[in-house]
Amino acid sequence: MSAEAIGPSKAARARRGHRIDVLRLRRLGRAAVFGPAAPRHRLPDAIEHIAQVHRRHHPGADLDALRRAYLLAESAHRGQLRKSGEPYITHPLAVTLILAELGAETTTLTASLLHDTVEDTEVTLDQVRAGFGAEVELLVDGVTKLEKVEYGAAAEPETFRKMLVATGTDVRVMSIKLADRLHNMRTLGVMRPEKQARIARVTDEVLIPLAERLGVQALKTELEDLVFAILQPAEHARALELLRAHQAGPEPLEKVADRVRLILREAGIAAEVLIRPRHVLSLHRALLKRGGLGPGGFGRLLILVAEDADCYGVLGELHTCFTPVVSEFKDFIAAPKFNLYRSLHTAFADRDGLVAEALVRTHAMHRVAEAGVIALGDPHRATAPENPQTAEPAAGGEPGRPGWLSRLLDWQRQEPDPDTFWTALRAELAEDREITVFAEADDEGPLQLPAGATCVDAAYARHGRLAHTCIGARVNGRLATLRTVLRDGDTVRLLLDPDPGPSAGPAPEWLEYATTPAARIPIRRRLEEQAHPAERAAAPAPVAAAPHTPAPARTEPAAEPVALVGEAPGAPVRLARCCTPVPPDRVCGFLVRGGAVTVHRESCPVAGRMTAAGRHALEVGWRSPSIGCRVTLYAESLGRPHLLADLTEALAAQGAAVLQAEVEPPRQQRVRHTYTLRLPDASGLPALMRAMRSVPGVYDVSRAARPRG
C-alpha cells in the first residue's frame, strides 16, 4: 500500500508553490501504459480485462461504478510511482484483478480500485461516500492504515485492530486486504532484505491464518509460497528444484486419472477429473511428514461433480475399483470445516501400487474452497446474488460473522494495550482448528472454540466476566475440573457460584488453564484489580482459594489476619493460594508487584524457590489464632462405594463448608479427593483433618503445599 508509493505527500503538496507544467508528459506516459483515453461512459482500456473477468462470474453486473472508481483512482494517484518504478495505479488495478478472478462482486472491486486513495492522496472518505455510497466507504476506510506520525510503534497493531473491527461488519474488508498483501508480496523484491523479512513474518503470523479462516485458499497458498521463499530460502529452493524435476518428466497420475474417468463414465457419473499439483510449501511439508514422496505424491486428483450425492457415488466407485487407504479418508461435506470448506478426501492404490490422493467435491464447493467468503458475495444482501449459479450455502455459519471472528472481536475490546493485543492476536491465529461444544440447557446455543480449549475458555466464551464466579463444570454428564481439555462434540454445563461476594474472582492458576485471549485477558485484568493496593486497602485480605473457587469468604473479620513485623507497615496482604496458610502455621511474606505482600507457609516450595532466588523474606505473624479461613485439603483413599458421601458428612460434622470438591479418576484403586473448605475457626483444622482420616478407606489427608495443575 502506501509504503510502496513514491510521490508527493499531502503536506508536501500543500506547501508546494509553482511547478513546471508536465501535464503533456503525463498524458503521454499514461497513454503509453494504458492506451488512449476512453470516451465518456465507455470503459477505459486499463480496466477492460478486469471487466471481462468480472462478467464471467457476474454477467449482469453494472460496470459504471468501476469506470468511475478507476477514473478517480487514476487521477488521484497520478504522478505517484511504486518503488519498482511503475505508475502507482498499477497496484490497485492488480489488486482488483486478483479479486475479479476469485469472483468478487462489483462493490468489492469498486472499493479495491479506491483502497489507497484516502491513505495516499487528497481524496477523502466523504468524497468516496458521496460518489459511491456507504458500503464502498466502509470498505475503503477498513483497509486504510493509521498514520505512524500519530500512532508511532502502535500504528501497525492498531491498524489491524481497526481492520478486524471493520471485518466484523463486512468480511469484504479482509478480502481486499488479502489481495492487497498478495500483490505487495509478489513485488517485494525491490525492498531491503530486512524489510522483506518483517513483512513476510507479519504475513505468515496474521494474514495467512486469516486467509485460512476466511476460506480463501487461492490467496493463502500463493502467500505461503512467497513467505516460504523469503523466510526459508534454502528449503524453498530445494522443494522448488524437486518440483521442477518432477514436472520435466511425464506425470504418473495421468494414467490413474484416465482410469478414474473411464470408471466414472461407465458408472454414469458426470465428472471432471483434473490433476492438481502441489504448491511449493505443500511439497516441503509432505517431505517433512513422510520423509519422501512416491511418484504420485507430487499432486492430487481433483474430481468435480454436479451434486452432493455424486460425491459419495464417486467415493464408492473409487473404493470399489481401487484399494483404499482408510486412514486418509475424511468427510468434510457431512462435517464442514469452520472456514466453509467442504470436500471428500481419500487416497487409494492402483493395481501397480501407485498411491494417489483424491479430492471429491461439487463445482460449487470448489468455488468456495478456492475463494471462500469472496465467492459468497455481499454478506448483507437479502436477495439472490448476481449469478445464482455461483452461490453456495453457508455451511457451518453466517459468512458475514464467523464464530472465530466473533470471539476475536469480543476479546479485542477488552485489551486496549496495542502490544498485548498484537501478541494475543498472533497466538489466537496460530491455532488453525476449531471444535464445537454443546450446552446441556436447550436455550443455550453451541460454542465454537479453538482446538485445545478448556472449561475455563468455555466459561468466558459463554458468560464473559460472569465466568469469574465459575466453580466447576460437568462434561458429558460427569464432574470435571476447569482445566479439562474439551473435545469436539462434548456437552458442557458450567457451574457458577449463585451468591458470589463483591470481590469474587478467578484463581491465578486459571491463567495456566486458559488458552484463548477471550479468557486470559479478563482473568489477568481481574487478578490485577484484586492486587491493586488502592482497592485492597479498604477491603479485607483475600483468603487462599482453590483454583476453581473464585469467591472468597464473606464471614472474614474486617481486620487483616496477618500482621507485618517491622517491615512494610500498612502494606496490603494476601494469603498465597499455592499453600493456603492458616493459623498457627509459621509463615513468611514477600513483596510483589503493586506493593502488596504475599504470605506463604515457610514450608511452601514456592517460598523456598523465591528465597533461593535471592528474594528477601519479610517477617510476618498472625493477629489472632481464631479467625475464619479457607483451606485446600487432599484426601488420599482407596476407592469404594459411598466414599464421597461419607467424607462430605464428616466435613459437615466439623462445621466446614465445602466450596469445591474434585475427585480424580481412580488409579490402581486409589482415589484422590481435593476439597476447598471454609472454616469458621482456623484452630479447628487439626481436628477436621483427623475426622477425615477416620473415614474408612482414607489413608492420608494433607494440606495443599504446591501450585495445583
**Measured between alpha carbons, how far is 15 from 7 in angstroms, rounded to an integer?**
14
pLDDT at 483 > cutoff 50: yes
pLDDT at 106 > cutoff 90: yes
Which residues have CB under 8 Å from 668's CB, separation 6+?
Answer: none
pLDDT at 179 > cutoff 60: yes
**Measured between alpha carbons, how far is 477 from 451 in angstroms, rounded to an integer?**
21
Confidence class of residue 133 from pLDDT cuts 50, 70 and 90?
Answer: very high
Q: Please give the DSSP secondary-structure letter assigned to residue 296.
A: G
| Strands (DSSP E) found in 615-669 | 618-622, 629-638, 657-663
Average pLDDT over residues 547-576: 51
Q: Lowest mean pLDDT: which of 221-225, 435-439, 561-565, 585-589?
A: 561-565
Q: What is the largest CA-CA distance in the chain?
A: 101
Share of the chain above pLDDT 70, in %: 81
Burial of 116 per CB tally in 10 Å (0-12, 13-18, 19+)? buried
Predicted confidence at residue 176, as pLDDT, reads 94
pLDDT at 544 > cutoff 60: no
Predicted confidence at residue 258, as pLDDT, reads 94
Predicted confidence at residue 313, as pLDDT, reads 95
Task: Note whether 147 and 2 are within 8 A (CB).
Answer: no
* Residues designated catalytic: 119-120
Predicted confidence at residue 200, as pLDDT, reads 94
Q: Lowest mean pLDDT: which of 14-28, 293-307, 345-359, 679-693?
A: 14-28
Q: Number of C-alpha atoms within 13 angstroms, CB side, residue 155?
A: 11
pLDDT at 679 > cutoff 60: yes
Confidence class of residue 385 from pLDDT cuts 50, 70 and 90?
Answer: very low
**Mean model confidence pLDDT for the chain:** 79
Closest CA to 139 of 148, 129, 150: 129
> What are the phi and psi torsion angles at 436 (to 5°)?
-120, 125
pLDDT in tens, 4-36: 555 544 444 443 333 334 343 344 344 434 444
Three-class secondary structure of residue 677 per DSSP: strand
Q: Please give the DSSP secondary-structure letter assigned to residue 295.
A: G
Higher pLDDT, 661 or 48: 48
**Measured between alpha carbons, how far is 140 from 278 in angstroms, rounded to an integer?**
35
pTM for the model: 0.63
pLDDT at 389 > cutoff 90: no
**Measured between alpha carbons, how far is 347 from 353 in angstroms, rounded to an integer?**
12
Pairing of strands 470-475, 491-496: antiparallel
**Measured between alpha carbons, how far is 536 from 539 in angstroms, rounded to an integer?**
5
Burial of 253 per CB tally in 10 Å (0-12, 13-18, 19+)? buried
Average pLDDT over residues 552-572: 50
Pairing of strands 299-305, 272-277: antiparallel
- Residue with cell string 475455563: 456
Average pLDDT over residues 212-240: 93
Query: Which residue type, as a one-letter code, is found at position 57?
Result: H
Higher pLDDT, 500 or 423: 423
Average pLDDT over residues 90-116: 94
Measured between alpha carbons, how far is residue 356 from residues 342, 343, 352, 372 in Å?
20, 16, 11, 26
Predicted confidence at residue 533, as pLDDT, reads 42
Closest CA to 208 of 198, 223, 186: 223
Query: Which residue type, as a one-letter code, is found at position 670?
Result: R
Closest CA to 276 of 250, 294, 251: 251
Higher pLDDT, 274 or 636: 274
Q: Lowest mean pLDDT: which of 307-316, 453-462, 555-564, 577-586?
A: 555-564
Average pLDDT over residues 131-143: 93
